[in-house]
Amino acid sequence: MCGRFFVDAKDREIDRLLEKLGAGAGEIKIGEIFPTNRALTISGGERGPAPEGMEWGFPKRDGKGVIFNARAETALEKPMFRSALLNNPIVAPATGFYEWTPNAAGGKDKYLFRAPDGALLYLAGFGKIFPGAGKRFTLLTRDANDSVTPYHSRMPLILSRDETEAWLRGEDPAFFLKKTPAALLVIKS
């Protein structure tokens, strides 16, 4: 995943989550989401899943840039990610994500990947509080499935809506980290 996803404000579920978030919804970026944007996420909690705004990307130790993706295959092994993954799973609801491929003219073509039925994609990730930087999140990536492979070798770890609560409760993260997402619809942007 190259680092962009899309959130459509016209989606009923997105609208419902923003409404539930209340006053904090005004700080949430809608449309094309870039690393360091404040994005809509869903966190687990004592009262169940709840929307929350978080900045996308863990600050790098050298203070230059952010780490916005973590490999699902190795996240549990990495000291920077392990505790956050086990203790603070989140999902980022998205209407799609982007990848780019080189074209014959020397530029790049942009592609949007969506669920074939137009449903939301629930991108699996985890959050962490950083002193002076607040709560931030990173997304998990995995090897691309057959629908994404022609465009990119990696893709976000996508959960079905029915899987999100188990993910947020921290149930069997190893199972989810090995999950192969369903085929996606590809749209040239």
Kindly report, residue by residue over 146-158, the tens digit of the pLDDT: 999 999 999 999 9
Q: pLDDT tens digits, residue range 76-112?
A: 999 999 999 999 999 999 999 999 999 999 999 999 9
123 assigned to some structural domain: yes
In a domain, 102, yes or no: no
In a domain, 185, yes or no: no
Count: domains in the chain: 1
What is the pLDDT, as a whole number, of residue 61? 86
Domain CATH code at residue 74:
3.90.1680.10
pLDDT at 79: 93
Q: Answer yes or no: is 92 within a domain.
A: yes
Percent of the chain with pLDDT over 70: 99
In a domain, residue 107? The reply is no
Residue 106, domain member (yes or no): no
Burial of 32 (0-12, 13-18, 19+ CB in 10 A): middle
Query: Could you give the 3-state DSSP secondary structure of residue 66?
Result: strand
Residue at 108 is within a domain = no
Tokens of 65: 């840039």
Q: Which residues of 89-119 are buried (b: 16+ CB within 10 A; e: fewer)?
A: bbbbbbbbbbbeeeeeeeeeebbbbbbeeee
Domain holding 163, by residue range, is 5-96+118-142+156-174
Residue 79 covered by a domain: yes
Distance CA 183, CA 153 (A): 15
